[in-house]
Amino acid sequence: MTALLASVRSHDEALDAVAAGAELIDLKEPEAGALGGLATGDVARIVETLRARYPVKPISATIGDVPSHALDEIAARVIEVGATGVDYVKVGVAPGPAALRCLDLLASLPAAVIPVWLCDAEPGGETGAAATADLVAHALELGFVGMMFDTAGKDGRTLFDHVDADSLAHWLRTAREHGTLCGIAGSLGWDQLEQIRALAPDVAGFRTALCVDGRRSRLDPQRVAQWAGALHRSSGDYVPGRSAQAPEAARVPRF
């Protein structure tokens, strides 16, 4: 089963997403970029609220859109966000000369870091699988608990416009062989539902598809429930637009 990760920006959105069936709550600020970070004080307050009502609900938070070569800033942000009490700290990693050094740093920090591969950020404006494949292999050697495949650009193109399904399937399969959980995100919507089901990642992450009018608008609990229902059902027995709560017995993967 693929679990639903809902990216939220506020206390109210977080509570709505959990009530509607989201298994993982991801804290970010969509106004600040693809992996825009919330103020750490806000992250800490949301974590405190969720822990009081849902003590085992997995929570992640991003550090913000920080370039991979800014190692000192990345380290400081990871430690700061990790201190808020989140389970996982998400860090965007783009292919490039600094990416491997960035991964080495992330693996050494006192936090459970989830590298997020920005698959549309190939150096020189080109996209492809080779650079990301090298990063995936190195991350698996370093022993991260999980990883996600995403896009930096939110321009209407999806993850599948930048990475072919065969490459994604290979990376997911390799990660499973290493005991590493994997997620996908990147402007995914109903048109990509069957591709998501075919890949069967541990986690599928959404923001835009869960909102009323674009990723910067308010999260809609009904859309969260619709996506939870879609991800938890077999192909062909779910109709987009029909509200459905997630099954009570749904397994929540933990990175």
What pLDDT does residue 244 have? 39
Please tell me the least confidently modeled range out of 95-99, 117-121, 124-128.
Answer: 124-128
Catalytic, 90? Answer yes
Nearest-CA neighbor of 78 among 51, 32, 115?
Answer: 115
Q: What integer pLDDT is reported at residue 128 of this predicted model?
A: 53
Mean pLDDT of the chain: 90
**pLDDT of res. 81:** 98
In CATH, what is the architecture of 3-231?
Alpha-Beta Barrel (3.20)
One of 90, 162, 207, 232 is an active-site residue; which one? 90
153: helix, strand or coil: coil
Q: Provide the greatest CA pair distance for the chain.
A: 49
d(Cα 142, Cα 6) in Å, to the nearest integer? 27
Q: What is the pLDDT of residue 234?
A: 61
User: Is pLDDT above 70 for 130?
Assistant: yes
Kindly report, residue by residue over 187-222, the tens digit of the pLDDT.
999 999 999 999 999 999 999 999 999 999 999 999
Q: Is 57 a catalytic residue?
A: no
Average pLDDT over residues 127-154: 89
Which tens digits make up the pLDDT trace of 218-254? 999 999 999 999 998 865 544 444 443 333 334 566 7
Per-residue pLDDT, 245: 39
> Which residue, among 84, 88, 205, has the nearest Cα to 150 in the 3D structure?
205
Task: Name which residue leads in pLDDT, 234 or 114.
Answer: 114
pLDDT confidence of residue 241: 47
Q: For residue range 157-195, what is the model confidence (pLDDT) as tens digits? A: 999 999 999 999 999 999 999 999 999 999 999 999 999
**pLDDT for res 125:** 40
The C-alpha atoms of residue 180 and residue 140 are separated, in whole angstroms, by 8
Nearest to 31 by CA among 180, 184, 214, 192: 214
Q: Which of 9, 28, 162, 215 is catalytic?
A: 28
Q: What is the pLDDT of residue 235?
A: 56
pLDDT at residue 129, rounded to an integer: 72
In angstroms, the Cα distances linking 30 to 34, 60, 206, 214 are 6, 15, 12, 10
pLDDT of residue 155: 81
